[in-house]
């Protein structure tokens, strides 16, 4: 059966999502796309981070050139359609391209509304709808001066924040009495205005534009009350209108938008329409979630007979301005049949308002503390009667049932149909099912299979919480968004700590505008690591910002007891050490003694009150912590090597000991497990470790990026070197590069996947000068690496008094 011709006019987010759904269901169409823009599809809701400099165009591309080619799509870029001939069933572009269709999708989007004031056509007056507008603003910002943004809605404020971050002076002119009046009530609008003014953005509400001043280009803006504001750039962000002229000229039914049924068919049954140009059920939409629902419904009907129908759902509003947390959903207008519950915290600058009717949530507005937005939205959609939680409702989900609970428990307690990703309409059950059924272990995989957090990214923390609940900490540790305390990602935080020379946790939280006073259990350990890594010798490790296992130097077990693992360098021990371990096990009635996969002995079932005396006895025998809890070096596994094995080519045991002593005590983004195998038979399992060494006749093969947990992955070869010192230098350089660019809890294989294996090789192996520089920085940082604090506690002495361990560390580094 021959394929039908499907022509799509427009290449925005809605038609792109339509094609994804369509290709999943059928291969029955030859697809042709006419795109007015000269590029591929991109995420328009992420233009704000591009404007602010936080992302590039490449970061927001949705479908690459390879995607179109892989699906056999004919993409006409820079080809605006000028005519639809319904009788001939053809589409023709302004540059003369004509394509026949059996089915047609119109996705012409919307056009910015330009206020008809004198001066609106001057050079320097821009709208804010697409990438060209964004690039125009970025170009203008390089010249400096003042930008006037007309409109205090979502787009206007995102433009204002981005231009301010680009270094311009910015004034926002807004006709109404408070900002974002369609999405926020006056109280939240006031807090938002105060926040923006605190960032140096001037906000003028109840201000009406009379004219834009200038001869050939913008020079200023005059207001109706006579005030004049100097300006070199004016951004119009006062609203949008559906782009319907093409459909109107084709004789389709048009009202405010292109009129469709709930199946997204227009008045012509062979023509569908999706996106901001559509009017369905008497409503037009500008947020991405309903547009994606349109795409799904239209794709279902194009695939064959379907009863799929578009349904109106209240969509939450979020502002994509770094560090500004606001959330609104539903109906928050005043009315006699409504009840308001309000909570304000002046010192924290937070505001929460929940609107009830007949004891049901019908709306919510939050500023500052938005963690409960999804919970309120779930109750709004379900129509749940909240009479039984009326008194505690405003305090949020954490305080239901008489006291605060773990935030992870809150996420775990959400129903399967609770919405997690508002942009894409993805619920909790879809995400957890995909994780378990498809074996997903990374955020990138979850995004690829579910689309959750793939748009604006504000739900990333929730998605990661679901991964933690479903898979456990290590598997879910795919850092991107840090936590609810900030909208900054790990990469932005790392970059800004160095750029702004921030050298303490309070300094980071103040300068990067944390929304909580002290951070949380997610962000504090990450900040502590980044500060240790970036400012060795200047920042003092904050043990209270470490996980419990790191604080007590033992791994907590499911029954509340602890596991103690003394270090055995390279898996080598002595009779005295073995006797000391046996004596401790007897003395403290430790129930289980086990040999670990890292060639050490694990004492399992140690009571918390016995931890100090256990470590005192082990310290007295010269043994220190094996750091089986560390975000850093765990073990270096070895085989016996050439001293004993008839196949051994090098001294693998000796090299393993040297590497362990060299790396010992240094912290890393995540745990590091190494191995050294004496020959290619690989008895130490070097090819599944974070870093592996395989001894060969000519020297040593250096490998990295292996995994053998929930995720199974073999190592990648970095290269061959000739001497042990070469191995130590390469491993030191690789570790330092990982430490400087890795995100907290990001395993080395995930780090390499993210930044590229070729790039890693170029930086720490091929470029000898760069390699040595990283190695030298590692050696320098090791001078400040932590000496085992248990020794300090049990002996009441300073760390430097434990000279044998300190000397081992420094000698190996030198």
Q: What is the pLDDT of residues 421-432, one digit of tens each?
A: 877 778 888 888
520 is in an annotated binding site: no
CA distances for 298 relative to 301, 422, 505, 548, 698, angstroms: 5, 19, 50, 51, 63
Select from 33, 39, 24, 41 the least CA-distant residue to 5.
33
DSSP letter for 693, please.
E
CA angle 530, 535, 536 (to 5 degrees): 105
The rounded distance, in Å, linking the Cα atoms of 528 and 533 is 9
* Segments of the chain with pLDDT less than 50: 403-405, 476-478, 787-814
Tokens of 482: 């840090």
The rounded distance, in Å, linking the Cα atoms of 460 and 321 is 16
Using DSSP, state whether 249 is helix, strand or coil: helix
CA distances for 616 relative to 139, 543, 785, angstroms: 64, 20, 22
The set of residues, in sequence order, having a beta carbon less than 8 Å from that of 295 and lying 6+ positions away, is 14, 15, 16, 17, 18, 21, 274
The rounded distance, in Å, linking the Cα atoms of 101 and 116 is 38
Select from 183, 191, 484, 189 the least CA-distant residue to 363.
183
CA distances for 584 relative to 53, 581, 674, 703, 789, angstroms: 58, 5, 28, 38, 20
User: What pLDDT shows up at residue 790?
Assistant: 46
CA angle 60, 431, 436 (to 5 degrees): 125
HSE, CB side, 13 Å, CA atoms: give it for residue 601. 20
683 is in an annotated binding site: yes
CA distances for 279 relative to 264, 394, 661, angstroms: 9, 36, 68
The rounded distance, in Å, linking the Cα atoms of 188 and 109 is 30
CA distances for 177 relative to 150, 186, 205, 542, angstroms: 14, 8, 5, 46
Is the separation of the CB atoms in 15 and 274 below 8 Å? Answer: yes
Return the sign of the alpha-carbon dihedral for residues 294, 295, 297, 302: positive
Is the separation of the CB atoms in 683 and 721 below 8 Å? Answer: no
Alpha helix (H) residue ranges in 535-651: 548-552, 575-587, 611-620
CA 199, chain centre distance (Å) = 24
User: What pLDDT shows up at residue 622?
Assistant: 84
Is 384 exposed, middle or buried (CB count within 10 Å of its CB: 0-12, 13-18, 19+)? middle
Q: What is the four-CA torsion angle of 364, 367, 371, 373, rounded to 10 degrees? A: 20
Q: How many CB atoms lie within 10 A of CB 130?
A: 18
Strands (E), 424-538: 426-427, 481-483, 486-489
The rounded distance, in Å, linking the Cα atoms of 272 and 213 is 43
User: What pLDDT shows up at residue 445?
Assistant: 81
Is the separation of the CB atoms in 477 and 469 below 8 Å? Answer: no
The rounded distance, in Å, linking the Cα atoms of 153 and 693 is 57
User: What pLDDT shows up at residue 104?
Assistant: 97
Tokens of 496: 């800004």
Q: What is the pLDDT of residues 239-272, one digit of tens each?
A: 889 999 999 999 999 999 999 999 999 999 999 9
Q: How many DSSP H helices and E strands does the chain contain? A: 28, 39
Q: What is the residue-wise DSSP string for 474-492?
A: HHH---SEEETTEEEEHHH
Q: What is the pLDDT of residues 180-235, one digit of tens each?
A: 888 888 888 888 898 899 889 999 999 999 999 999 899 999 999 999 999 999 99
Which residues in 144-170 are b (16+ Cβ under 10 Å) and which e? Answer: eebbbbbbbbbbbbbbbbbbbbbebbb
In order of start, what are the domains of the chain with their CATH numbers?
A: 4-109+242-303 (3.50.50.60), 125-238 (3.50.50.60), 481-546 (no CATH), 550-629 (3.90.480.10), 633-782 (3.30.413.10)
Q: What is the pLDDT of residues 489-548, one digit of tens each?
A: 788 788 888 878 899 988 888 888 887 777 877 888 899 989 988 898 888 888 777 777
User: What pLDDT shows up at residue 428?
Assistant: 86
Using DSSP, state whether 238 is helix, strand or coil: coil
The rounded distance, in Å, linking the Cα atoms of 638 and 598 is 9
Q: How many CB atoms lie within 10 A of CB 3?
A: 13
Select from 689, 694, 731, 691 the least CA-distant residue to 707.
689
The rounded distance, in Å, linking the Cα atoms of 204 and 57 is 32
CA 345, chain centre distance (Å) = 28
Return the residue matching tokens 């879910």: 476
Is the separation of the CB atoms in 374 and 462 below 8 Å? Answer: yes
Residue 676 backbone class (left: φ over 0; alpha: ψ -120 to 50; beta: rest): beta
pTM of the model: 0.61
DSSP letter for 199, please.
T
Q: What is the residue-wise DSSP string for 773-801?
A: HHHHHHHHHHTTSPP-HHHHHHHT--GGG
Q: How many CB atoms lie within 10 A of CB 643?
A: 12
The rounded distance, in Å, linking the Cα atoms of 26 and 589 is 65
Q: How many CB atoms lie within 10 A of CB 61?
A: 16
The CB-based long-range contact list for 548-555 (8 Å cut-off, 24+ gap) reads 549/629, 550/629, 550/630, 550/631, 552/608, 552/611, 553/611, 553/615, 553/625, 553/627, 553/629, 553/788, 553/789, 553/790, 554/606, 554/611, 554/628, 554/629, 555/628, 555/629
């Amino acid at each position: 059966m021959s394929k039908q011709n499907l022509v799509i006019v427009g290449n925005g987010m809605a038609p792109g999502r339509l094609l994804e759904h369509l290709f999943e269901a059928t291969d029955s169409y030859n697809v042709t796309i006419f795109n007015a823009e000269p590029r591929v599809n991109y995420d328009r809701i992420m233009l704000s981070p591009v404007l602010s400099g936080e992302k590039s165009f490449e970061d927001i591309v949705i479908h690459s050139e390879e995607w179109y080619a892989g699906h056999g799509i004919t993409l006409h870029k820079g080809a605006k359609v000028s005519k639809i001939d319904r009788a001939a069933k053809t589409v023709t572009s302004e540059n003369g391209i004509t394509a026949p269709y059996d089915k047609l999708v119109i996705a012409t989007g919307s056009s910015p509304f330009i206020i008809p004031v004198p001066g609106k056509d001057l050079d320097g007056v821009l709208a804010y709808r697409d990438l060209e507008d964004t690039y125009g603003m970025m170009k203008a910002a390089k010249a400096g001066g003042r930008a006037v943004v007309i409109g205090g809605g979502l787009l206007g404020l995102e433009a204002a924040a981005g231009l301010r971050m680009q270094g311009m002076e910015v004034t926002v002119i807004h006709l109404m009495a408070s900002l974002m009046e369609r999405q926020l009530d006056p109280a939240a609008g006031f807090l938002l205005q105060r926040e923006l003014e605190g960032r140096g953005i001037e906000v003028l509400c109840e201000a009406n534009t009379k004219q834009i001043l200038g001869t050939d280009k913008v020079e200023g803006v005059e207001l109706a009350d006579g005030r004049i504001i100097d300006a070199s750039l004016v951004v119009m962000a006062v609203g949008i209108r559906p782009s319907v002229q093409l459909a109107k000229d084709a004789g389709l039914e048009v009202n405010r938008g292109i009129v469709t049924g709930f199946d997204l068919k227009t008045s012509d049954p062979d023509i569908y329409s999706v996106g901001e140009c559509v009017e369905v059920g008497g409503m037009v939409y500008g947020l991405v979630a309903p547009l994606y629902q349109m795409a799904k419904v239209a794709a279902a009907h194009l695939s064959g007979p379907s009863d799929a129908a578009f349904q109106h759902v209240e969509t939450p509003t979020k502002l994509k301005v770094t560090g500004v947390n606001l959330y609104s959903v539903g109906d928050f207008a005043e009315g006699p049949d409504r009840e308001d519950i309000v909570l304000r915290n002046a010192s924290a600058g937070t505001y929460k308002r929940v609107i009830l009717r007949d004891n049901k949530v019908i709306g919510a507005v939050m500023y500052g503390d938005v963690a409960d937005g999804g919970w309120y939205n779930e109750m709004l959609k379900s129509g749940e009667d909240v009479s039984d939680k009326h008194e505690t409702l405003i305090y949020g989900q954490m305080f239901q049932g008489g006291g605060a609970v773990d935030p992870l428990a809150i996420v775990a307690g959400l129903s399967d149909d609770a919405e997690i990703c508002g942009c894409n309409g993805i619920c909790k059950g879809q995400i957890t099912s995909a994780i378990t059924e498809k074996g997903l272990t990374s955020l990138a995989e979850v995004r690829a299979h579910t689309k959750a957090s793939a748009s604006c990214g504000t739900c990333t923390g929730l998605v990661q919480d679901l991964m933690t609940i479903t898979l456990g900490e290590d598997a879910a540790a795919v850092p991107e968004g840090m936590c609810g305390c900030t909208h900054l990602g790990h990469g932005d935080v790392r970059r800004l700590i160095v750029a702004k020379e921030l050298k303490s946790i309070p300094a980071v939280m103040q300068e990067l505008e944390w929304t909580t006073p002290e951070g949380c259990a997610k962000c504090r350990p990450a900040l502590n690591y980044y500060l240790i890594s970036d400012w060795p010798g200047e920042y003092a490790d904050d043990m209270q910002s470490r996980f419990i296992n790191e604080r007590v130097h033992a791994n907590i077990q499911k029954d509340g007891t602890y596991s103690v693992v003394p270090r055995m360098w390279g898996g080598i021990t002595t009779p005295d050490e073995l006797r000391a371990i046996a004596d401790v096990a007897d003395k403290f009635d430790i129930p289980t003694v086990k040999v670990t996969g890292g060639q050490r002995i694990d004492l399992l079932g140690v009571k918390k009150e016995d931890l100090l005396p256990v470590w005192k006895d082990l310290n007295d025998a010269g043994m220190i912590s094996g750091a089986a809890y560390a975000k850093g070096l765990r073990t270096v596994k070895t085989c016996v090597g050439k001293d004993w094995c008839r196949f051994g080519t090098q001294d693998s045991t000796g090299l393993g000991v040297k590497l362990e002593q060299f790396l010992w005590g240094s912290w890393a983004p995540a745990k590091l497990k190494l191995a050294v195998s004496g020959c290619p038979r690989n008895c130490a399992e070097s090819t599944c470790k974070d870093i592996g060494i395989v001894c060969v006749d000519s020297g040593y093969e250096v490998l990295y990026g292996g995994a053998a947990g929930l995720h199974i992955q073999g190592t990648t070869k970095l290269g061959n070197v000739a001497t042990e010192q070469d191995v130590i230098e390469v491993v030191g350089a690789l570790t330092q590069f990982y430490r400087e660019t890795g995100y907290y809890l990001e395993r080395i294989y995930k780090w390499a996947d993210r930044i590229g294996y070729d790039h890693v090789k170029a930086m720490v192996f091929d470029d000898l000068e760069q390699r040595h520089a990283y190695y030298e920085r590692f050696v320098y940082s090791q001078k400040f690496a932590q000496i085992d604090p248990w020794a300090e506690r049990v002996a009441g002495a300073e760390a430097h008094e434990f000279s044998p361990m300190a000397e081992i560390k420094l000698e190996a580094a030198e």
